[in-house]
Amino acid sequence: MALIIPVRGFTPEIGNECFLAENATIIGDVVMGDGCSVWFNTVLRGDVNSIRIGNRVNIQDGSVLHTLYQKSTIEIGDDVSIGHNVTIHGAKIHDLALIGMGSVVMDDAEVGEGAIVAAGAVVLSRTKIGPNELWGGAPAKFIKMVDPAQSREINQKIAHNYLMYSKWYDSQEEK
């Protein structure tokens, strides 16, 4: 069972039908929607400020979400995929966005709806990534526009695949 830790009077709130890996850690002021998955060795640390996560969000293995005390929060929309070993620190991620493996998204950055942050990118503080834009590099820079229908299809497919993967673990517990 995941480690869920109340702190400063805040107890994490987990939506319906969410998968929390056994060694995921969820701390403090975290509110998560329905159908989410938080994978192995992931930390959602809402000890110094709030983390708000929409529906059908997958936060993959080794990712860390944290904020700045009294300065930044994390907001993640619906159908968002956060790749393996991602760090999100006080940023806003809109619906249907994809944050690639090993990326870093810093305080007050914003990733638009349907946008893609390439694997290994470093999105600096206060960077604004528009809807359906692909950014990559360190520091991250605009690469190109992504077809909105294609972006929606890819990002929803990944989000739904992670819902399917999480169900595999539910069936393991029943055996």
**Which pLDDT score, from 0 to 100, does residue 171 have?**
62
State the residue range of the domain holding 133.
3-174
pLDDT tens-digit map of 4-36 = 999 999 999 999 999 999 999 999 999 999 999
pLDDT tens-digit map of 137-149 = 999 999 999 999 9
Radius of gyration of the chain (CA): 15
**Which pLDDT score, from 0 to 100, does residue 156 have?**
87
161 has a pLDDT exceeding 90? yes
pLDDT more than 70, % of the chain: 97
CATH of the domain at 64: 2.160.10.10
CA atoms in the 13 A half-sphere facing the CB of 63: 27
Task: Please state the domain count of the chain.
Answer: 1
